[in-house]
Structure 1
Amino acid sequence: MEPPRPYAVSLTLADLPDEVRAMLAADTPLQEPPRQGRTSRVAFALDASGRPVVLKRSVGPHLEVIRREHRALCAVHPLGVPAPEPLLFLERAASAGLEGWLMTRRLPGITLEAALGAELDRAGRTALLTNFGAHLARLHATPPPPGLGGHDCLETVLASARRLNPAADVARFDPRRNRPPAPVALAFIHGDLFLVNVMTEGGRVTGLIDWSFAEVGDPRSDVAVAMHGLTRADQAAFAEGYGPAGRLTPAEAAYFVELALLF
């Protein structure tokens, strides 16, 4: 029998801790995003001043993921990086075990995945993806905040995947078959840059969400995940904005995407 899924039930106002409710508008509805993540239950709401916020709840083995996101947002937001502003984080005992709650500002717009799905004009797609590439290049050029950890070897990455995603089939990643590419200079990376984690509005990127895996790491991992599933024309537009390092070999792209899918 499949184990119960902790995020199968929608959040209600009654679920919220008092500290969270105190920061929200009295009559705010809780709206679910079109897609839910694997590690948190997510809802949109309005704060007491009417500004949009995002609420996240994680329990059990996924609590560490939301803790990591809070620490990362506290570190990166003061740098001017396009990330949501963290407003509140707390942990409390609940019937399902210890749970964590995170409230952040909501970035405007829709995901890059949704924008590309709706954008049929070639010029519009090219401009949006070029802008995305330029945003990512600026992130990788940003000096990382103090204390931001990193993975210095493949075994550390695999151990982290086992810990943060117990359901991951880490054994299928065979280091003999998936040999790491030659090393490059490390950079400040997002670490989970699938297109659902990129927000856009008016044909431009407004910011990046879901920062649980931000670290000092190989910038090619962000590039590979960002381009995963894009057409050749879309990949070329992204690389135009990112620069020459945005043109990965097929082996580099496959290696980093397979690693990312473990988390």
Structure 2
Amino acid sequence: MAGVEEVEIVVAHSRRATLRVGEVFLKVDVDPAHADVEVRAMAMTPVPTPAVLWRRPPVLAIAAVPGKALGLLGEPSTASPAAWAAAGAAGAAIRRLHDAPLPPWPGRALDDVAAELDRECAWLLAGAVLPAEVVRRNRGIAEAALRPWTPAFIHGDLQITHVFVDGDEVTGVIDWSEAAPGDPMSDLAVLTLGHEERLDDLLAGYGADADRDVIRAWWSLRSLVASRWLIGHGFDPDAPGCEFDVLRSRMREP
């Protein structure tokens, strides 16, 4: 890393920080289990991932991947429709992930997801964080995700900032600390959250057997349950195009 001119803070809050130093990302996490999962998941997954350079708890060093992130939540994606059809969860790469053998550690149980949804909706209502009708409407939509699923190997936090592309090729998928057996529709929903217009591009690469109603339900569920954490860690779910806009947009649907 000789000759590095600056250190970039990628993300930082009380539990985790990620720094970019030249072509190396340094991830500092208070919970070593997150790095354990990340290293194991990247070794197992059939999709491109960064190289692990070294690990000295609480720091994990990984190489930067070429290309650029597919987009940012709240901003229009600059990637081409062809890139969306091929990139990570947007096509064959994430289909390979979902078809791969399950990781040996447990994922979240359906009852835990349902309990979290109830808890976070209660918090949003008690604090009048959003209008009650927005919370209740989206809670009803989210119900479609609360059904038994066949577990697949999922990324668990497949934001568009975690999928890197160069042209129309996936160069890497990063941040695997929440990988586990889970509902594959949740990965597809997180990738298109705030970019719902790209769902057709995603499914053109992924396959026609994806359940659009369940993906739609996960858009609401993810936005509802993430809001308190985001607010508590210095992020703004009410920024244009972000989680609150996703929730409000459901009010305009029949």
Scaled to the shorter chain, the TM-score interval is 0.5 to 0.7
CA shift for structure 1 position 68 = 3.5
Among residues 49, 71, 75, which one is paired with 1:113 in the alignment? Answer: 71
Q: What is the TM-score normalised by the length of structure 1?
A: 0.66
Other structure's SS at 2:35 match: helix
The match for 1:87 is 53
Map of 1:140-155 to 2, 5 A cutoff?
140-146=98-104, 148-155=105-112
- Structure having the higher helix fraction is 2
CA shift for structure 1 position 153 = 2.6
The question of 1:215 aligning with 2:190 is answered: no
Residues 192-237 of structure 1, C-alpha deviation per residue, up to 9 Å, x if partnerless?
Answer: 11111111112322111111211111111111111111142x2111
Among residues 141, 159, 164, which one is paired with 1:199 in the alignment? Answer: 164
The match for 1:129 is 84
1-structure distance, mates of 2:182, 2:42: 19
1-structure distance, mates of 2:162, 2:182: 18
The question of 1:227 aligning with 2:192 is answered: yes
Other structure's SS at 2:209 match: helix
AA at the equivalent of 1:85: A
2-structure distance, mates of 1:253, 1:245: 18
1-structure distance, mates of 2:113, 2:176: 19
Q: CA RMSD in A?
A: 3.2
Q: How many residues align?
A: 206
The match for 1:55 is 26
2-structure distance, mates of 1:112, 1:87: 24
2-structure distance, mates of 1:154, 1:30: 45
2-structure distance, mates of 1:239, 1:26: 43
Map of 1:169-188 to 2, 5 A cutoff?
171-172=123-124, 177=140, 178-179=142-143, 180-188=145-153
Among residues 39, 44, 60, which one is paired with 2:20 in the alignment? Answer: 44
2-structure distance, mates of 1:214, 1:140: 11
The match for 1:74 is 39
2-structure distance, mates of 1:228, 1:156: 18
* Matched-pair identity in %: 26
Other structure's SS at 2:212 match: coil
Structure-2 change in CA distance of 1:231 and 1:145 (3 Å): closer
The match for 2:204 is 240
CA shift for structure 1 position 244 = 1.7
For the 8 Å contact 1:36–1:42, the answer to whether it is kept is yes
The question of 1:253 aligning with 2:234 is answered: no
CA shift for structure 1 position 254 = 2.0
For the 8 Å contact 2:70–2:77, the answer to whether it is kept is no
Other structure's SS at 1:36 match: strand
Higher Rg of the two aligned structures: 1
The match for 2:236 is none
Structure-2 change in CA distance of 1:262 and 1:217 (3 Å): farther
AA at the equivalent of 1:203: D
2-structure distance, mates of 1:30, 1:169: 41
Among residues 51, 59, 77, which one is paired with 1:101 in the alignment? Answer: 59
Q: What is the TM-score normalised by the length of structure 2?
A: 0.68
AA at the equivalent of 1:31: V
1-structure distance, mates of 2:85, 2:139: 35
Structure-2 change in CA distance of 1:199 and 1:68 (3 Å): farther
For the 8 Å contact 1:70–1:86, the answer to whether it is kept is no
2-structure distance, mates of 1:150, 1:170: 24
